[in-house]
């Protein structure tokens, strides 16, 4: 579990390095609490980071259990919304993989 926390911090820092100089992660805080995080996408325009989580303790990328979610995190490392997607009553996610931002779309 500790390795996952460090891996997420490394991803956050790596993505912050690819953004414009004025949009950089400035926190060295370790953010945890996710369940099998898979990918991270940095939205420099909106100053947030999105984290895709498998959502179940079973690490099976092909499993369709509807437990996946996407978290929204500030560049300071503070979790804005642990479960940003899916919204309540929305379509369930099955192991979200590969996050990227194109224009105004996630």
What is the residue extent of each domain of the chain?
2-85
Mean pLDDT to the nearest integer, 84-94: 91
| pTM score | 0.71
pLDDT band at 86 (very low <50, low <70, confident <90, very high): very high
> What confidence score (pLDDT) does residue 22 get?
59
Q: In what order do the strands lie in the sheet with 79-85?
A: 37-43, 48-53, 69-74, 79-85
> What confidence score (pLDDT) does residue 15 get?
53
Per the CB < 8 A criterion, the answer to whether 28 and 55 are in contact is no
Q: Is the pLDDT of residue 71 over 70?
A: yes
- Six token digits for residue 36: 């099998």
Distance of alpha carbon 97 from alpha carbon 37, whole angstroms = 9
pLDDT band at 64 (very low <50, low <70, confident <90, very high): very high
The more confident residue out of 39 and 3 is 39
Task: Give pLDDT tens digits for 6-63.
Answer: 555 555 555 555 545 555 656 677 777 888 999 999 898 899 999 999 998 888 888 8
Chain mean position to CA 24: 16
């Amino acid at each position: 579990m500790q390795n996952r926390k460090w891996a997420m911090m490394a991803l956050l820092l790596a993505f912050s390095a690819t953004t414009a100089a004025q949009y950089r992660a400035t926190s060295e805080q370790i953010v945890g609490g996710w369940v099998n995080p898979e990918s991270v996408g940095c939205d420099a325009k909106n100053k947030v980071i999105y984290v895709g989580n498998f959502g179940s303790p079973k690490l099976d990328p092909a499993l369709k259990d509807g437990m996946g979610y996407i978290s929204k995190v500030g560049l300071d490392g503070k979790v804005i919304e642990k479960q940003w997607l899916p919204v309540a009553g929305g379509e369930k996610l099955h192991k979200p993989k590969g996050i990227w931002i194109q224009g105004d779309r996630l």
